[in-house]
Amino acid sequence: MPRKVELRILYENRDVTKAIEDYLISLTYTDSTEKADTLSLELYNEAKEFSLTSYPTPDAEISAFIDGYPCGKFRIDSVRRNLYTFQIESTAIRRTSEIHKTKRNRNFKNTSLKKIVTQIAEENSLQPVVKVDDIEIENLQQNQQTDAEFLKVLADRWNCYLKIQPDRLFFVERDEFENQEPIATITENQLIDIDLEDQVYAVFRSCTVYYHDSVKNKDLSYTCVLKNVPVGEEIKLHEKVETLEQAKKRAIAELKKRNRWRTSGTVTVEGNTSLVAGAVVRLELGDLFSGNYLIEESSHRVDSSGYQTVLTVRRIS
C-alpha cells in the first residue's frame, strides 16, 4: 500500500492545497548538484478550470512542501495544456539575474581561482561558498561571457561543482563531496528499480598537458598517469596553462572529469526527502556494483501510486 504523503502547496504565498487537491495528478520536485532546482505540477483539467478561469499569472511564485520538507520557492516558467491535463513547470527563484544575463569583457591579473570566484559572487550580492585547492593565476580573460558562463568554464576546467542559488554561490571541488561518509545504505530489497551501467572500455588512464614556460621560454609537457587504471586511453591537451603546478592540476582535473561517469545510472526507492543531491549513499547489491555513490540529482514524485525518489548517481568508491 502506498505511503500517505502530506503535501502543501503555496501560490503567491496563499495556501492552495485544499483548492487543488482533487485535481492534482502528480507533483515532481528535482534537486540537482549543479542545475537549478525545478518543480512540476500536473493537474486534471477536463473542465478547463486551469486554462480558463485559474490561469497562472506570468512569473508567479509557487512553493511546495513534502511531509513538511521545504522544496523551496519557484517561478513559473511555462504551462502546457494537453487534452485533459494542465502542467505547470517552474524553476527555483533567482534573486538576481545579472549573473546570467550581462556579458562582460575583463581581465583578472595576479590573483587566484578562489579570489576570482569570491569576487564574482560578491559583485552579484551572493554569499560565496568556495572550497577549492587554490590556484595562482597571472592572467585570465572573461571574453563576452556572463559571469555564470565564465564560472561554468572555470568549474569544468578545475573539476569543481558550480551551483547558483537565490542567495548563495557554491564553487566546490568535487572531492569535497566525494570524500563524505554515506548518509544511508540502500540494500537490494529496498529498491523499486535500478539501472546502472559500467562503461568498461571508456576509461582514461593518462593525460598529457602541453604548455609554454614563459620563464624558460620553452614548450614543455606534463603527463599524469593513474596507477590504479592498468589499461585505458590517453588524453592530450593543447591549451594555455601558466606553470607546471597548473599543468599538474589541469591533468588531474581532466582525468577525473573524463572518468566521472564510468559507473552511473539511476536508483528508485520509496520516497525519502533526506536523499538530496550532493549526498553519498552506499549501495549494497551483493555484486560488483556495490559501493559508494554520489547523488548528482534527486527527483521526488508524488502521485496516486505513492511517493518515490529517483536518484541519478555515479560511483565514487
User: What nine digits make up the cell of 309?
Assistant: 525518489
Given a cut of 90, whether residue 54 has pLDDT beyond it is no
**pLDDT on residue 87:** 96
Other beta carbons less than 10 A from residue 76's beta carbon: 19
Task: List residues bridging with 235 in a β-sheet.
Answer: 207
Element holding 194 (H helix, E strand): strand 191-198
**pLDDT on residue 4:** 80
**pLDDT on residue 165:** 85
Cβ-Cβ contacts under 8 Å for 42 (sequence gap 6 or more): 24, 25, 26, 27, 85, 86, 87
Q: How would you classify the pairing of strands 291-303 and 306-315?
A: antiparallel
Domain 204-259 belongs in CATH node 3.30.1920: yes
The strand order across the sheet containing 218-225 reads: 218-225, 204-213, 233-238
User: What nine digits make up the cell of 156?
Assistant: 569544468
In contact, 101 and 146? CB cutoff 8 Å = yes
The Cα–Cα gap between 266 and 166 comes to: 28
In contact, 79 and 87? CB cutoff 8 Å = yes
Report pLDDT digits (tens) over 82-132.
999 999 999 997 655 789 899 999 999 999 999 999 999 999 999 999 999
3-class DSSP state of 175: helix
pTM of the full structure: 0.88
Task: List residues bridging with 312 in a β-sheet.
Answer: 266, 297
Give the residue among 67, 58, 23, 59 at the shortest CA–CA distance from 41: 23
Give the pLDDT mean for 234-250: 89
CATH of 177-199+262-315, one of 1.10.10.10, 3.40.50.10860, 1.10.3720.10, 2.40.30.150: 2.40.30.150
Report pLDDT digits (tens) over 131-151.
998 899 999 999 999 999 999
The Cα–Cα gap between 41 and 37 comes to: 14
Other beta carbons less than 10 A from residue 172's beta carbon: 18
Task: Kindly list the distances between the CA atom of residue 154 and the CA atoms of 117, 159, 162, 200, 219, in Å, as whole numbers in the listed order.
Answer: 9, 8, 9, 29, 24
Homologous superfamily (CATH) for 98-165:
Baseplate protein-like domains (3.55.50.10)
3-class DSSP state of 183: coil
Percentage of residues in the chain with pLDDT exceeding 70? 98
User: What nine digits make up the cell of 191?
Assistant: 529498491
3-class DSSP state of 231: coil
